[in-house]
Homo-oligomer: A and B are copies of this chain.
């Protein structure tokens, strides 16, 4: 593959990216795209980049890398209560890219875009002169003035989290050291590996968040760190009950074999679940609506007054503080 002449950027666009374009993308034949929110709606904008060797492993399947690059942004839209409208892509390719990689990447991108109704609007492809980098700007919409904020949690609110926490952090360990946690069954290993490779943006939860959440964000850099971030922004603190944090059967099995894994579970990142603060009288309503959307929302603690870092109480009643808070890719 590497010996063949590479297509020009125009050929790449026509062959791989134009088929992904939505109506506002004008077939990627123009320098810009067009988008307007529906009447009575705001656009919600978010941008996140992933870098080979930093946010994913260079030998991760290209379709999975694409699903992650778009998925992490869709996860942000979900947390804001937004419905996706489209995305723009910057693809900075390492010098050793080949067309097979790109074709598989675009297949994954196309599948993720189609699944979540988020077509390509525009992009730029450049030579990275270093590791591959993928930056996505995602656009969604919410009813005017209704975007769910991060910094509006209030003392007394209950804290809830979607799905399960820690799977991706354990999955990354497995990816890095396939012999790790030898006691885990094959199905558990598969589950953890898949959670690392493929974010499941919780877009079906968006309407419930819009209707009931006081504040929300997605959990991308670890539950402990992201919770601290939400509370710092809100000028509040929190208490979390560690035994209440929802874990998958696979994570429970791993934790049973090594109780020290609670740290990477709570701080490891790549969960792409939703953390939200909900007034007590709305907790049942939002959990019901989430359940109808096929997503479990689990209460894990509550917002309290103060500015201390959030406390995590273990089963023995000991309060722990995660000082560094979250994994930093930076």
Of A49, A54, A82, A139, most buried by chain B (CB within 10 Å of CB) is A49
| Inter-subunit contact A49/B126 (CB<8 Å) | yes
| Inter-subunit contact A90/B127 (CB<8 Å) | no
A209 contacts which chain B residues (CB < 8 A)?
none
Q: Assess whether A121 is interfacial by the CB under 8 Å rule.
A: yes
Contact of A44 among B32, B37, B127, B133 (CB under 8 A): B32
Contact of A328 among B8, B47, B49, B79 (CB under 8 A): B8
**Closest residue of chain B to A137, judged by CB?**
B137
Interface string of A127-156 (1 = CB under 8 A from B): 111110101010100001001011100000
Specify how many copies of this chain sit in the oligomer.
2
A52 contacts which chain B residues (CB < 8 A)?
129
A139 contacts which chain B residues (CB < 8 A)?
45
- The smallest C-beta distance from A183 to any residue of chain B, in angstroms, reads 34
**Closest residue of chain B to A48, judged by CB?**
B124
- Cα A224 to Cα B31 in complex, Å, equals 17
| Inter-subunit contact B42/A137 (CB<8 Å) | no
Q: Assess whether A57 is interfacial by the CB under 8 Å rule.
A: no
Q: Assess whether A240 is interfacial by the CB under 8 Å rule.
A: no
Contact of A46 among B32, B42, B328 (CB under 8 A): B32
Q: Assess whether A36 is interfacial by the CB under 8 Å rule.
A: yes
Q: Assess whether A233 is interfacial by the CB under 8 Å rule.
A: yes
| Inter-subunit contact B34/A37 (CB<8 Å) | no
| Inter-subunit contact B41/A36 (CB<8 Å) | yes
A329 contacts which chain B residues (CB < 8 A)?
126-127
| Inter-subunit contact B31/A217 (CB<8 Å) | yes
| Inter-subunit contact B77/A47 (CB<8 Å) | no
A122 contacts which chain B residues (CB < 8 A)?
45-47
| Inter-subunit contact B229/A49 (CB<8 Å) | no
Instruction: Tell me whether A80 and B31 are in contact in the complex, defined as CB-CB below 8 angstroms, given that A51-B127, A90-B47, A90-B49 are known contacts.
Output: yes
- The smallest C-beta distance from A218 to any residue of chain B, in angstroms, reads 7
In chain A, residues 23-67, which have Cβ atoms closer than 8 Å to a Cβ of chain B? 24, 26, 29-37, 41-55
| Inter-subunit contact B33/A44 (CB<8 Å) | yes
- Cα A30 to Cα B135 in complex, Å, equals 18
A123 contacts which chain B residues (CB < 8 A)?
47
| Inter-subunit contact A151/B30 (CB<8 Å) | yes
**Smallest CB-CB A-B distances: 3 pairs:** A130-B130, A90-B135, A137-B137
29 contacts between A and B (CB under 8 A): A8-B328, A8-B330, A9-B330, A29-B151, A30-B80, A30-B233, A31-B76, A31-B217, A33-B44, A33-B45, A34-B43, A34-B44, A35-B43, A36-B37, A37-B37, A45-B122, A46-B88, A47-B89, A49-B124, A49-B126, A51-B126, A51-B129, A55-B126, A92-B135, A124-B135, A126-B330, A129-B130, A129-B131, A133-B133
